C-alpha cells in the first residue's frame, strides 16, 4: 500500500506539500502512509485516490489492498521491540524484487547466521535489554525466509573484504558464518561479491546502504541505517546517485566466482 501510494503521487507529479494543500491530509500523516509506518483510513484513501484520478478496477484493487494491509502479518509480533524506521524497512524489503546491498562492516542481515546476528546485535546495541535483543534477533531470522519463498527477490550483496576478517562472536561463530556465505553464493537468487583490500579506496567507504527495487512503476527506495536515525531516500537524484555508486562497487569487486573462492580460502585459514 505504501509503495503504491508513493507511485500514484509520483505519477500525478505532485509533491507531498501539494497533496496536503489539496486534500487537507496532514503532511506528517502522508509521510507515515508512504513509508509504511501507518495504514490509511478508508476516507483518507478515498481522498487520495480522488486526487490521483484513480477509478474503476484499480480503485477496487486498492480497496482490497487496504483490507489486506490491515491483516496482521508476522512482523506485528516484533513491532514493539523495533524502531519505526526499521519496521518500515522490513515491510518494504518484503515487497522488493531486487535488493542491492552494500555492507562495509557486517555480513548482510539476510545472510547472517543466528549466532553471528546475536553477536552483532549485542555488540552494536550494548544498552539493549535481553528482550530487545531477542526480539530483533527473531525478526532478523524471520526476514531470511524471504530468500526461499516462491518467487523470491534477487539479493545482490557487495561486501568489503574487512567483513570476512572481523571476528564477530569469536572463531567458531565466524567459521559458521563464512560457511553460510559460501553456501549462499550458490543460491540462484543471490549474487555475492567482495571489494578486495588491494582495490584501495572505493565509493562504498562512506557507509553501507540498501537499494530496494520494486515491481515496474514503483520507485526505488534507498535505506541508510545509523546509530541515531535511519533514513529513507526517495528523490530521483538520490536514487540515481546510489545506483551509480552500486554499479561502481560491482565493477571494482571480485567476480562472484572469485568471491566464492576468496570466502573458501578465508574459511580454510580459519579452520587451521
pLDDT digits (tens, 9 = 90+) for 54-70: 888 888 888 887 776 65
Whole-angstrom Cα distance, residue 229 to residue 46?
32
The cell for 72 is 496482521
Q: Could you read off the pLDDT of 248-261 as tens digits, one per residue?
A: 999 999 999 999 99
Using DSSP's 3-state secondary structure scheme, residue 212 falls into: strand
| Top-confidence residue, 119 or 36 | 119
DSSP H helices, 168-227, are 171-184
| Predicted TM-score (pTM) above 0.85 | no
Domain borders along the chain are: 2-69, 76-271
Q: Between residues 79 and 270, which one has the greater pLDDT?
A: 270
Q: What is the side-by-side strand order in the sheet with 154-160? A: 190-195, 154-160, 98-103, 209-213, 221-224, 231-233
- Fold category of 2-69 in CATH: 434 Repressor (Amino-terminal Domain) (1.10.260)
**Given 3.40.50, 3.30.870, 3.10.20, 3.30.1890, which CATH number is that of 76-271?**
3.30.870
C-alpha cell at 140: 532478523
Q: What are the tens digits of pLDDT across the range 189-248?
A: 999 999 999 999 999 999 999 999 987 656 788 999 887 677 888 888 999 999 999 999
Q: What is the pLDDT of residues 135-151, one digit of tens each?
A: 899 989 999 999 999 89
Query: What is the C-alpha R_g of the chain?
Result: 20
Long-range contacts: 13-18, Cβ < 8 Å, 24+? 14/51
What is the C-alpha separation between 14 and 235, in angstroms, rounded?
13
Amino acid at each position: 500500500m505504501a509503495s503504491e501510494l508513493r507511485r500514484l503521487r509520483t505519477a500525478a507529479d505532485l509533491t507531498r506539500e501539494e497533496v496536503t494543500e489539496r486534500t487537507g491530509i496532514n503532511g506528517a500523516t502522508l509521510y507515515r502512509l508512504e513509508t509504511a509506518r501507518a495504514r490509511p483510513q478508508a476516507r483518507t484513501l478515498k481522498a487520495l485516490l480522488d486526487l490521483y484520478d484513480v477509478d474503476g478496477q484499480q480503485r477496487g484493487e486498492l480497496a482490497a489492498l487496504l483490507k489486506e494491509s490491515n491483516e496482521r502479518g508476522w512482523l506485528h509480533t516484533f513491532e514493539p521491540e523495533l524502531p519505526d524506521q526499521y519496521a518500515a524497512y522490513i515491510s518494504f524489503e518484503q515487497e522488493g524484487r531486487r535488493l542491492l546491498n552494500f555492507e562495509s562492516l557486517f555480513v548482510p542481515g539476510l545472510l547472517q547466521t543466528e549466532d553471528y546476528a546475536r553477536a552483532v546485535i549485542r555488540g552494536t546495541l550494548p544498552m539493549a535489554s535481553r528482550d530487545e535483543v531477542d526480539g530483533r534477533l527473531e525478526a532478523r531470522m524471520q526476514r531470511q525466509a524471504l530468500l526461499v519463498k516462491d518467487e523470491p527477490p534477487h539479493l545482490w550483496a557487495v561486501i568489503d573484504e574487512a567483513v570476512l576478517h572481523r571476528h564477530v562472536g569469536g572463531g567458531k561463530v565466524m567459521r559458521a558464518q563464512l560457511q553460510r556465505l559460501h553456501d549462499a553464493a550458490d543460491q540462484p537468487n543471490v549474487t555475492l561479491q567482495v571489494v578486495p583490500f588491494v582495490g584501495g579506496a572505493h565509493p562504498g567507504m562512506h557507509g553501507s546502504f540498501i537499494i530496494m527495487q520494486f515491481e515496474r512503476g514503483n520507485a526505488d527506495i534507498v535505506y541508510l541505517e545509523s546509530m541515531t536515525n535511519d533514513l529513507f531516500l526517495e528523490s530521483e537524484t538520490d536514487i540515481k546517485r546510489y545506483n551509480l555508486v552500486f554499479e561502481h562497487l560491482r565493477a571494482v569487486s571480485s567476480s562472484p566466482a572469485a568471491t566464492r573462492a576468496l570466502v573458501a580460502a578465508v574459511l580454510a585459514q580459519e579452520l587451521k
